[in-house]
Chains A and B, each alone.
Chain A
Amino acid sequence: MENVDKKKKYVISRRIDEFFLKIFDAWRFLRRFFSELFKPPLEWGEIVKQCYQVGYRSLGLISLTGFITGLVFTKQSRPSLSEFGAASWLPSLVAIAIIRALAPLVTSLICAGKVGSNIGAELGSMNVTEQIDAMEVSATNPYKFLVVSRVIATTLMIPVLTCYSAFIGLMGSFLDVNAHEKTSLATFFENAFIKITFLDIGATLVKAIAYGFTIGMVSCYKGYHASQGTEGVGRAANSSVVLSMFFIFLEEIIIVQVANYFRT
């Protein structure tokens, strides 16, 4: 019985050690990013290629989800607002919801799924097939080439996609408003932006930058440290998505709290 207790304690203590070692490892990975970022030259060719992969290749999915979000949100909100005779407030309500919360969150969650899993699987597969080692032995810094370029690309492109998603979402909303109230596009946008402040747009951009950085960093870390063959690649892709989403929600809470502090 005593031996079993000792064994359990040993296992728990080992797991705690492993947990803190992983955190330390992740911290070193993050620190390395900033030290490599400011060491010229940057891999501009690869950055542009990754921006294309992250941005252009996600446009279809972002357009669809953004449009549906705006349209459905408007449709769902209409009965409640109409009950109080406040249907004219729809553009404003939808704009606040989309610009403050939905656009950055929906875009980043979609990108965490699409881009995050892609990066996790790609780097994971490169790692287990020794392509990263091959890069290193041919005197190329694989961290700079693979990680820095991808993190820069996600950090730059997710804010762009967020703005695009917000616009498409508002267009979806306009479609519904126009169908019911025959409102013109100019009037719709005029009403939509009545309540939008610089702080709203600023906070959204900060969110999108933070989410983009998180998706890039988490996915690269998971892919770069993938092991144990194809199973490890699958696990890297999966945990890239799950962890990215977890951190996105965590950051959402923090940034909303900070933005609200400045708003009041």
Chain B
Amino acid sequence: MEQVTNIQKESVIQIRKLHKSFGENKVLRSVDLDVFSRENVVVLGRSGSGKSVLIKIIVGLLKPDSGEVIVLGQNLKLLDEKGLQALRLSIGFSFQNSALYDSMTVKENLEFPLVRNRKHLSQSQIDNEVHQVLDDVGLSQTIHQMPAELSGGQRKRIGIARTLILRPRIMLYDEPTAGLDPTTSLEINNLIKEVREKYHTSSIVITHDLTCARQTGDRIAMLLDGQFVTQGKFDEVFPSKNEKIQSFYNYNFIQ
């Protein structure tokens, strides 16, 4: 049991004293965060609080001004382009608007990362993988459809399926329930939990949706004004005496 606990406590993402500014705007100010193996961490905060910037730094899409980001034991600062690309194979990134390739069918969207990064696979093996992930997200029937023909929830699911096809160890979800109705949001929240169970992933979920945070998060990290003001389980974070957290909670409740 103790050994299992140790394995679960293995840190897959370590962020230390991270700073990021855009011109005069200081988006992240000395951010520290640890994500442990098979843990779902929800980064909660208002729009423009730097949540998406944080995960874009983790996947190497943005460079920090200072601070350290260590992912799966590798310091991003020390990685060259090849090293970064290799590391990205272990990180799945689900974009806010799904970012499906408009000119490709669902099948081609899912094949794209596989064809480019698993060159040893035969076409039948690729087909099997595609069918497998589509089954996992419950959208096998959409295989020949174009992204424009899919609903918002379906697009999100296919976006997640596209990242899962490379069997990542870490999943980063950028606003997974943004713009979805409550029922579809619930389905996406369940999918995030299922992904962790089936694919044994550790995740960071970026959201401002309290329902999503409560349903998917093992731990909540509250990002306000570029800093984490509190971290803990949902019931520990809310209610809080901190005025800013209270105001965020009330705002969401009213919404």
**A residues within 8 Å of B by Cβ?**
122, 125-126, 129-131, 133-141
Contact = CB atoms under 8 A, between A and B. Distances in A.
Interface of B: 56, 59, 61, 85-86, 88-89, 91, 93, 95-97, 99-103, 112-113, 116-117, 162-163, 166
A126 B112 CA distance: 15
- Nearest 4 CB-CB pairings of A with B: A134-B99, A138-B113, A130-B99, A137-B93
B99 A129 contact: yes
A179 to B, nearest CB: 45
A252 B91 CA distance: 49
B66 to A, nearest CB: 23
A137 B61 contact: yes
Contacts of A129: 97, 99, 102
Contacts of A133: 56, 61, 93, 95, 99
B85 A139 contact: yes
A129 B102 CA distance: 10
A57 B59 CA distance: 38
Given A129-B97, A138-B112, 17 more contacts: A125-B102, A126-B102, A129-B99, A130-B95, A130-B96, A131-B102, A133-B61, A133-B93, A133-B99, A134-B93, A134-B100, A134-B101, A137-B93, A139-B85, A139-B89, A139-B166, A140-B117
A31 to B, nearest CB: 16
B35 to A, nearest CB: 17
A140 B116 contact: yes
B179 to A, nearest CB: 13
Given A129-B99, A131-B101, A131-B102, A138 B59 contact: no
